[in-house]
Chain A
Amino acid sequence: QVQLVQSGAEVKKPGASVKVSCKVSGDTFTGNYMHWVRQAPGQGPEWMGRINPNTGGTNYAQKFEGRVTMTRDTSTSTAYMELSTLRPDDTAVYYCARDADEGGCFDFWGQGTLVTVSS
Chain B
Amino acid sequence: QSALTQPASVSGSPGQSISISCTGTSRNVGSYNLVSWYQQFPGKAPKLMIYEATKRPSGVSSRFSGSKSGNTASLTISGLQAEDEAEYYCCAYAGSKTFYVFGTGTKVTVL
Q: Is A112 interfacial (CB 8 A cutoff)?
A: yes
Tell me if B64 counts as interface (CB < 8 A to partner A). Answer: no
Query: Could you tell me how many residues of chain B have their Cβ less than 8 Å away from some Cβ of chain A?
Result: 28
B88-110 vs A, Cβ < 8 Å mask (1 yes, 0 no)? 01010100111111111100000
Q: Would you call B98 and A106 a contact (CB within 8 A)?
A: no
Q: Are A109 and B45 touching (Cβ within 8 A)?
A: yes
Please, how many residues of chain A have a CB less than 8 angstroms from a CB on the other chain? 25
Asked whether any CB of chain B lies closer than 8 Å to the CB of A95, the reply is yes
Contact B45 A46 (CB under 8 A): no
Shortest CB-to-CB span from B62 to chain A, Å, is 18
Q: Given contacts A44-B89, A109-B45, A112-B45, is CB(A102)–CB(B102) below 8 Å?
A: no
Query: Contact string, A53-75, partner B, CB cutoff 8 A, digits 1/0?
Result: 00000010110000000000000
A103 within 8 A of B: yes
Contacts of B101 in A (CB 8 A): 47
> Does the CB pair B102–A44 fall under 8 Å?
yes
B34→A104 contact, CB < 8 A: yes
The CA of A109 and the CA of B75, in the complex, are separated in Å by 21
A105 contacts partner chain B, Cβ-Cβ < 8 Å: yes
Contacts of B104 on A, CB cut-off 8 Å? 44
CB of A107 within 8 Å of the partner chain? yes
Please name the residue on chain A nearest to B36 by beta carbon: A105
Say if the beta carbon of B52 comes within 8 Å of chain A: yes
Q: Does A11 contact B (CB under 8 A)?
A: no
Q: Can you name 27 A-B pairs with beta carbons within 8 Å? A: A35-B100, A37-B102, A44-B103, A45-B91, A45-B102, A47-B91, A49-B99, A59-B96, A61-B98, A61-B99, A62-B98, A95-B46, A97-B45, A97-B46, A102-B51, A104-B32, A104-B34, A104-B51, A104-B52, A105-B34, A106-B36, A106-B38, A106-B46, A107-B48, A107-B57, A110-B45, A111-B45
